[in-house]
Structure 1
Amino acid sequence: MTRLPLFPLPETVVFPGLLIPLFIFEERYKQMTRDLLARDEGERRFVITLAGPEPGKYREVGGYVELLAASENPDGTFNIVCRGGDRCRVGDIGLGEGQLYYSVPDQPFPLLRSDPGSETIAAWDAMEAFREYVAGKADPKALEEALANLPEDPLYQASFLCVNLRVPAAEKQALLEAPSLVDRLELVQSLMRQRPLSSSVSEA
């Protein structure tokens, strides 16, 4: 079975379509970046999972990411940009021969999709809840422009909401692990009601 590099992070949960800028400074992840760059474009995939809560422990569900661009700095560190993909299982963590970083088997964990009508309604409800969530905290015109430019697929609309939800990483992990897309959208609404926004919304 194909194995993919594993990059645990303490505060990052990956959702489809999410652009993730990262600064790579640890030697093991500099090696990971060089190894990925040595592959053909389209084959530069790795896995990000949420680290913790205990030291050395990782969540069992993470997300695929694709390395889109990398710039090496004079000191050997990298600035990279990745794009989030579908979620995956994280298990059988191990070190490959000559590798400093961990890897995991390529184990997809598809999000359950229901009929398009149900997903569209759930996404519409969640977007309306989001407008209330950010009311008075975000520029209304900029918000509507951002929403208008979202893809039609409710999967990516859900990603936008998950990224801009101001909750602890553990609660974003719960969104990632939701059984279905409708469940994810319903949980987003629930979290918005439980945790009203106290600061301005971030950009997706």
Structure 2
Amino acid sequence: MTTTRLPLFPLNTVLFPGLVLPLNVFEARYRALLRDLLDLPEGEPRPFGVIAIREGHEVAPRGLGLPDGPPADPDPAAGFGADPMRSFHQVGCVADASTIRPRPVPGEAAEAGERDGTATGYEVLATGTSRFRLLSVDASGPYLVGEVEPLEERPGEGAGALASGVLLAFRRYQKALAGANERTLGPAQDLPDDPSVVSYLVAAATVLHTSDKQRLLQAPDTASRLADELRLLRQEVALISKLPSVPGAEYTIRPTSLN
């Protein structure tokens, strides 16, 4: 088994391979993580691990240091208890931070940072690349680092036929959710052909609880994920048809987070 160490960015959302994740980073531990990524050679990948939180807070109670709050908490495991492994789901997604832009840090965190040279926050645009299984968490440094193993994406039986069915079901879901508006996946001719890409795109674009999205991320193969999506989409369409109003399609596009 090949394992590697990966900086961890716990979030209250699930990132899928191929999907884009925008982040606004202000908390001390994650600013330290971004500074280390910026130190990597120009043009090289800047990977970190996005892992969904099972119990805890993606921003620690003292983490933001906003004008009316206390300064940033230096504890890398703050908000996640004595054993961070228990706070996270087992399967996450590697993200590549293709864009990292400095921005001012608000409030008392900025005042503290001016004294120690860490007053810079960051706007980040990252893309999910591949799945990993979290084996252990190291909280000895300025931010959490995970020992992880890569998870191979296996097609499973009948993935191609299931992908076609999922795309049809997703079109019905979009129409039920927002009338004839089909902006989320674009025109039919732009739809992906690869079943694994379909499975991740639909999983990210469907309005689901984090637990449902996490189950889709950690499916044993593409066919299993697509079969689960087909069931969920039919269930969601039936539910939407009974509701007096539903959220607009803009809520189905992509995750974002303030840290």
Q: Does 1:84 align with 2:125?
A: no
Q: Does 1:36 align with 2:37?
A: yes
Q: Does 1:6 align with 2:8?
A: yes
> What SS does the aligned partner of 2:186 have?
helix
Larger displacement relative to structure 2 (140-149 or 81-90): 140-149
Residue 75 of structure 2 aligns with which residue?
none
Q: CA deviation at 1:158?
A: 1.4
Q: Does 1:124 align with 2:149?
A: no
Distance (whole Å) between structure 1 residues aligned to residue 89 and residue 174 of structure 2: 30
Q: CA deviation at 1:53?
A: 3.2
Distance 1:144 1:90, change over 3 A: closer
Residue number among 139, 156, 163 corresponding to 2:197 in the alignment: 156
Contact 2:6–2:145 (8 Å) recurs in 1 = yes
> What SS does the aligned partner of 1:92 have?
strand
Once the two structures are superposed, what CA deviation does each residue of 1:45-100 show, in whole Å capped at 9, x if it has no partner?
A: 1111111236621111111111110110133111100000211011210035xx31
User: Over alpha carbons, which structure has the higher Rg?
Assistant: 2
Q: CA deviation at 1:144?
A: 6.6
> What SS does the aligned partner of 1:39 have?
coil
Distance (whole Å) between structure 1 residues aligned to residue 35 and residue 214 of structure 2: 28
Distance 1:71 1:128, change over 3 A: same
Distance 1:146 1:107, change over 3 A: farther
Distance 1:168 1:102, change over 3 A: same
Once the two structures are superposed, what CA deviation does each residue of 1:137-176 show, in whole Å capped at 9, x if it has no partner?
A: 1544646735532432221111211111111111100101
TM-score, normalising length: structure 2 = 0.71
Residue 169 of structure 1 aligns with which residue?
210
Q: Does 1:111 align with 2:153?
A: yes
Distance (whole Å) between structure 2 residues aligned to residue 138 and residue 67 of structure 1: 35
Q: Let me know the Cα RMSD of the aligned residues.
A: 2.0
Once the two structures are superposed, what CA deviation does each residue of 1:84-120 show, in whole Å capped at 9, x if it has no partner?
A: 0211011210035xx31111124101232236xx222
TM-score, normalising length: structure 1 = 0.88
Distance 1:170 1:144, change over 3 A: closer
Larger displacement relative to structure 2 (146-155 or 35-44): 146-155
> What SS does the aligned partner of 2:50 have?
strand
Distance 1:138 1:86, change over 3 A: farther
> Matched residues, percent identical?
27
Alignment of 1:8-27 (within 5 A): 8-10=10-12, 12-27=13-28
Distance 1:85 1:143, change over 3 A: closer
Residue number among 187, 190, 193 corresponding to 2:228 in the alignment: 187
Residue number among 56, 63, 83 corresponding to 2:93 in the alignment: 63
Distance 1:141 1:100, change over 3 A: closer
> What SS does the aligned partner of 1:113 have?
coil
Distance 1:147 1:103, change over 3 A: farther
Contact 2:171–2:182 (8 Å) recurs in 1 = no
Distance (whole Å) between structure 2 residues aligned to residue 48 and residue 102 of structure 1: 11
Contact 1:138–1:200 (8 Å) recurs in 2 = no
| Structure 2 gap segments, 5+ residues each | 57-78, 81-86, 106-119, 241-245, 255-259
Q: CA deviation at 1:193?
A: 2.0
Contact 2:55–2:88 (8 Å) recurs in 1 = yes
